[in-house]
Copies of this chain bind each other. A is one copy, B any other.
Amino acid sequence: MQLLLIHSDFIEYEARKSTPVAEKISEPKDRMEDALVAFIAVEKQDEANPKYVVEKGAEAIAGVAGQVKANRIMLYPYAHLSSSLSSPKVAVEVLTALEEAMKSKGYEVKRAPFGWYKAFTIKCKGHPLSELSRTIRPEGAESISICAGEKPEAVSEALKAEEKLKS
Contact residues in B for A133 (Cβ distance below 8 Å): 80
- A121 and B123 form a contact (CB under 8 A): yes
- Cα–Cα, bound, A153→B132 (Å): 21
Given A16-B127, A128-B17, A159-B19: A79 and B153 interface contact (C-beta under 8 Å): yes
Which residue of the partner chain, among B17, B123, B126, B132, contacts A16 with CB atoms under 8 Å?
B126
Number of A interface residues at 8 Å Cβ cutoff, please give it.
46
- B121 and A124 form a contact (CB under 8 A): yes
Which residue of the partner chain, among B19, B80, B91, contacts A149 with CB atoms under 8 Å?
B80
- Shortest CB-to-CB span from A104 to chain B, Å, is 24
Interface of A is mostly: mixed
Given A119-B125, A124-B119, A126-B119: A152 and B16 interface contact (C-beta under 8 Å): no
| 28 sampled A-B residue pairs with Cβ under 8 A | A4-B80, A16-B126, A17-B126, A17-B128, A19-B153, A19-B156, A20-B159, A21-B153, A21-B156, A78-B153, A79-B152, A79-B153, A80-B132, A81-B81, A85-B154, A88-B153, A91-B153, A115-B152, A115-B153, A116-B153, A117-B128, A119-B123, A119-B126, A119-B130, A121-B121, A121-B122, A121-B124, A122-B122
Beyond contacts A4-B80, A20-B156: 5 other A-B pairs, Cβ-Cβ < 8 A, are A19-B159, A20-B158, A80-B132, A80-B149, A118-B126
